[in-house]
Amino acid sequence: MPDPQILLKDEVGKRVLLLGNEAIVRGALEAGISVVTTYPGTPASEIGDAVSAIAVDAGVYMEYSVNEIVAVEVAAGAANCGVRALTAMKHVGLNVAADALMTLAYTGVNGGFVIVVADDPECYSSQNEQDSRFYALLSNLPCLEPSNAQEAKDMVVLAAEISERLGLPVILRTTTRVSHMRAPVVYGKLVKPSLKGTFTRDSKRLVMVPAYSRPRHDVLLQSLEKAKAIAETFTGNTVTHKVENVEYGLISSGAAYNYSVEAMKLLGLNADVLKLGMTHPLPEKMIGKFLQAHEKLIVVEELEPYLEMHIKAIAKDYAPKTTVYGKMGKQYFPRSGELSTGIVLKGLAEITKNKMPVNLENVNKKYAEVTVEIPPRPPVLCAGCPHRASFYVMRRVAGDKAIYATDIGCYALGASPPLKIGDILICMGAGIGTAQGISKTTGADTIAVIGDSTFFHAGVPRLLNAVYNKHKIVVAVLDNLTTAMTGHQPHPGTGVTGMRSATERIAVEKVAEGCGVKFVKVVDPFNVKEAENVLKEALKFTETSLIVFRAPCALLLVREKRRKGLKIVPFKVNEKCTSCMACIKLLGCPALILTEEKTVTINENLCTGCGLCANVCPYKAIEPKNQ
């Protein structure tokens, strides 16, 4: 957003165009939330970024925690001192936080505690699709689900209130479309935050040894019954479209509700619509009554048939003759990928036997005919990215003989040609973990690739395991001095906090030495010859070795040079070029361009002057432009 300070405007009724994630931040300010923790992850990253930008002025404490479970624990500590708190993460981050979350449901909280989790249907920026509503079911915690930016703001306030009423954390589940939609939001009144909390000793509630946890489970189940009563009158559970004596009813939630309403209008379908804003626990009586009013019920939701499963169970008791359509049995809507108005329209037409108002295939075909065909743009490392230099060194030294276990971050892009560094990728930190099993069972040279932020997030325990069990692997930490992929957020290695104040800069190499790694070296990946020699040495080491490939993110470097008024000197191709294409074939840098005449040139607008291509060129045909 252009000016995050607009979130601090104390003007009730003011109408502002906000991103869904920014609306959540405004909701936190209206809820009097005083502690915000996060580990950045798309599509939730903007929540932490917006809070960080205004934290000092707002009087809120904000931190980028080292990972999601730590973020939940810090916020839970504050909430158990009576201070309202919020933790934000993406769906796979909830997996990391789950251990704490499950037991927090037993201990409960004193102050309102909102856990925002952003799911990512279609895997736009994630390694899997995951339906976080099942975490609410698993933990017995309430879950709210907004369908637009206004609801995203309002539901933060409601979630904090419900949390305090029940003494439980409350999950606020969004999806990419809700998090990243931009829509008008009407402001409510700001509530002044307070960081002053009091901790009251209560071992039977807070110390979860078996003797205390068993009775707390019963307390949780009692709280769930209270939550069911709240669900029946929750303002977000409402019939938004009411038509008398119609055959069809439709139940939906979140972004799927928006698609459903648009598709119904296009199809000319008259149906009652029950919109659910609280998806755990569900309003059983409300849904039962809605079922009884219709012969046929359509459930539209993204990813898993979570609502459908529960609605069918409710139908068995309330309306056994009502037919429920959705994803179970005959699949009218897909269980994978993101929904769209077109996908929902097709499903509704098939269920109701109505004629499609438009031929989607013809529309797409006609659209393709009038649009300009553009070449595919697969994600690629930026021009000047130090990771490209690191991968070039690995390929030069180890080639295809080594197995590369990679990780989540910009460096995952190294798996694509021509670099092809990345043979297995699972989750944050798993590069170091999987490398150990691969090395042990194959005996091959194994290199674990991990980034600096990911190293602090989840790499350290895996590194300890490697040292302890004497696994012969090379850990390559690609340290670009930021959390680049999610928006350049700080981490323990940057020396800056979420409050934008200076702090101790924790060096990866010092942590590695503290973990007992005997071979630890730091190299500049753009110093190719030195980096190659160090990697050769590491591969010969008989135990765990670690190399820090350290150079700043190209985007940070360019911004810093511009801030200081320093000139960026691009490189050029001189007359020595033989068009051997070595630079393009080995590096895949977007600044290197093949002309129509099949010669190589350099896009000066993209070139950052890193000089890696000059190092690669066998004919010395690439040089700084000012020479």
Instruction: Tell me the pLDDT band of 326, cut-offs 50, 70 and 90.
Output: very high
Output the pLDDT for position 367. 58
The values of phi and psi at residue 370, to 5°, are: -95, -5
Mean pLDDT for the stretch of residues 76-96: 97
How many Å apart are CA 89 and CA 172, to the nearest integer?
11
How many Å apart are CA 287 and CA 276, to the nearest integer?
10
How many Å apart are CA 548 and CA 539, to the nearest integer?
14
Going by C-alpha positions, the residue among 376, 384, 374 that lies closest to residue 588 is: 384
Output the pLDDT for position 4. 84
Whether 507 has a pLDDT exceeding 70, the answer reads: yes
How many Å apart are CA 324 and CA 305, to the nearest integer?
12
The values of phi and psi at residue 58, to 5°, are: -80, -15
The values of phi and psi at residue 41, to 5°, are: -165, 125
How many Å apart are CA 345 and CA 333, to the nearest integer?
10
67 with 457: CB under 8 angstroms? Answer: yes
Output the pLDDT for position 369. 60
> How long a stretch of residues is the chain?
627
* Burial (Cβ within 10 Å: 0-12, 13-18, ≥19) of residue 374: exposed
Instruction: Write out the two tokens for 10.
Output: 């104390």
State whether residue 178 is helix, strand or coil: helix
- Per DSSP bridges, beta strands 248-253 and 622-624 are unpaired
How many Å apart are CA 313 and CA 394, to the nearest integer?
55
Share of the chain above pLDDT 70, in %: 98
Domain 238-365 sits in CATH 3.40.50.920 = yes
Read off the pLDDT of residues 519-549 as tens digits, 9 standing for 90 and up: 999 999 999 999 999 999 999 999 999 999 9
Whether 224 has a pLDDT exceeding 80, the answer reads: yes
State whether residue 526 is helix, strand or coil: coil
Whether 1 has a pLDDT exceeding 60, the answer reads: no
Please give the angle made by the CA atoms of 436, 440 and 441, to the nearest 5 degrees. Answer: 120
Whether 175 has a pLDDT exceeding 60, the answer reads: yes
Output the pLDDT for position 361. 73
Going by C-alpha positions, the residue among 69, 8, 61 that lies closest to residue 36 is: 61
Other C-beta atoms lying within 10 Å of the C-beta of residue 273: 22
Instruction: Write out the two tokens for 170.
Output: 């409350």
Q: Which residues contact 173 (CB under 8 A, 6 or more apart)?
A: 117, 118, 119, 132, 133, 136, 143, 144, 145, 254, 279
Identity of residue 172:
L
Question: Looking only at Cα atoms, what is the longest distance across the chain?
Answer: 83
State whether residue 63 is helix, strand or coil: strand
Whether 246 has a pLDDT exceeding 70, the answer reads: yes
- Per DSSP bridges, beta strands 622-624 and 600-602 are unpaired
What is the DSSP code string of 437-486? HHHHHH---EEEEEEHHHIIIIIHHHHHHHHHTT---EEEEEE-SSBTTT
Output the pLDDT for position 365. 66
Output the pLDDT for position 543. 97
Output the pLDDT for position 626. 79
278 with 237: CB under 8 angstroms? Answer: yes
Domain boundaries, the chain: 4-233, 238-365, 386-560, 567-624
What is the DSSP code string of 596-614? TTS-EEE-TTT-----HHH
Output the pLDDT for position 597. 85
Read off the pLDDT of residues 274-298 as tens digits, 9 standing for 90 and up: 999 999 999 999 999 999 999 999 9
* Burial (Cβ within 10 Å: 0-12, 13-18, ≥19) of residue 588: buried
How many Å apart are CA 81 and CA 111, to the nearest integer?
7
* Burial (Cβ within 10 Å: 0-12, 13-18, ≥19) of residue 206: middle
Going by C-alpha positions, the residue among 159, 273, 280 that lies closest to residue 231 is: 280
The values of phi and psi at residue 547, to 5°, are: -120, 130
Task: Give this prediction's pTM.
Answer: 0.93
Whether 406 has a pLDDT exceeding 60, the answer reads: yes
Output the pLDDT for position 391. 97
Identity of residue 307:
L
Output the pLDDT for position 532. 97
Read off the pLDDT of residues 335-386 as tens digits, 9 standing for 90 and up: 999 999 999 999 999 999 988 887 777 666 665 566 667 777 778 999 999 9
What is the DSSP code string of 94-116? HHHHHHHHHHHHHH--SS-EEEE
306 with 143: CB under 8 angstroms? Answer: no
**Does the fold of domain 386-560 match that of domain 238-365?**
yes
Q: Which architecture does CATH list for 4-233?
A: 3-Layer(aba) Sandwich (3.40)
Mean pLDDT for the stretch of residues 294-310: 96
Fold for 386-560, please state it: Rossmann fold (3.40.50)
Output the pLDDT for position 373. 72
Other C-beta atoms lying within 10 Å of the C-beta of residue 367: 9
Q: Which residues contact 274 (CB under 8 A, 6 or more apart)?
A: 237, 238, 239, 240, 249, 250, 251, 252, 286, 287, 290
Output the pLDDT for position 190. 97
Domain 567-624 sits in CATH 3.30.70.20 = yes
DSSP state of 399: G
Name the residue with tokens 């309003």.
283
Would you say the C-alpha torsion 60, 453, 152, 87 has a positive or negative sign?
negative
119-to-106, 168, 255 alpha-carbon distances in Å = 25, 22, 11
